[in-house]
Structure 1
Amino acid sequence: MVKKQVRTLLIDDEPFSRDELRHLLSAYPDFNIIGEARSAEEGLEKIIELEPDALFLDIEMGERNGIELASTIQKLKKVPLIVFATAYPDFAVKAFRVQALDYVLKPFDEDQIFEAVKRIRKAFPDESEQKSKLHFSTEDTLKLAVQQDETIHYISPKEIDYIFREGNVTKVISQGVEYITRYPLKEIEEKLVDHSFFRTHKGYIVNLNHVEEITPWFHGAYQLKLTNVEQHIPVSRNYVKHLRQRLEL
């Protein structure tokens, strides 16, 4: 049986931080932002009123901090999962003493939010895995849902040349056509782990079956030439050795 979406509350006194979290979490359709709070006091009221499944909670918020709020809500009948989202790494030990599930540092990035999302999902064992499958199904009918204009297309991994991140958008290049998808690279990479894809750079994933050449670029970095693709794909020097191992017999 499929559970409800993860009802999530954001508690932070900085509007920009709440906006950034809302944006990063929008990549996960099973996370429903049900509200925001600007202080620990307002956060407590909304926790009692809305009964969220999970909190993204700042620590330093004026007179009463997030650690104190987390301690207080342990007495509630329904205690939400807590992810501390803060600029201060020194509070980590105290955070886990109040049963924090995770601890992410500002400025946020999609990889650390992805890891927090995974931990929250694992805390809901009955949650249908299909909510996080990116519309992939069985081996024979494996598809990725992508969008071009107003149309949704379904493409198989073997048709994908490469995937990259441009600003806040993930783009998929398949047979010379550019599509977009709402999912972050980290999540796509994990779902493609059993296929011939490789993370060459923080912003690129390539289909190794389409690689024709690898050539030196500068400062130890390389570039990839893919079949029927004009764009050269960057390879960070930290990935070069592993990439060559994957490509060579």
Structure 2
Amino acid sequence: MKKTLKIVIIDDEPYSRDELTFLLNQYEEVEIVGEADSGEKGLEVVMRKEPDVVFIDIEMPQMSGLDLAKALQNMKHVPLIVFATAYADYAVKAFRVQALDYLVKPFDDEQIDEVLKRMKERLSESSKGVDLTAGVGKLAVEDEGRIVYLSPKDIAYLFREDRETMICANERKYSSRTPIKDLEEKLKGYPFFRTHKSYLVNLDKIEELIPWFNGAYQLKVVGQKEEIPVSRNYVKALRERLEL
């Protein structure tokens, strides 16, 4: 079978690189196209080889794995990133740089098998023109040091408050540092509508449109007590989306 997944491994520990290489080479669809023992060298290898996936250790001297991942986001074709580290407490930071997965050493066959399935799913979506930043159908948000994956259908609305975006889902509120315009982009393809510069609403959750004043309205959504403002500039388009 033709090799389809080009992979680069970046880790300052030779044993860890060898271990990953051995495990990945069990799959005929994988091709290890490069290795590096530092973030700086790794960046050069990735730019030269243009792999599909990069496995990155986090704690490396000078340029850390997180710094490298941020640098890779500036590439024209951003590879999928899998962190492979001995430390479990960097998971939230890994999420912030849109890592596909987070493996904790020592690795095993089950971990590798699962991450390869996710790689192939994401690359298949990419080949069909699906935005990789949209994830695999769930929105990842932080919650008290954990990463919670929310199904878009469970999200009632989002709004901007101070410097955070609040996500209201399943009768709870989650906080995200991601700007609402970026979350709106991630949720493209789902029935979300901008009712106001600070509000994004799931159309499937709307149950009532209430006239307010000066041509503006307010919305009531399922399971939420708060009424959501609808700017008069958005009312016509909203009614067209809602009504048969």
TM-score for both structures, normalised by structure 1? 0.49
TM-score for both structures, normalised by structure 2? 0.50
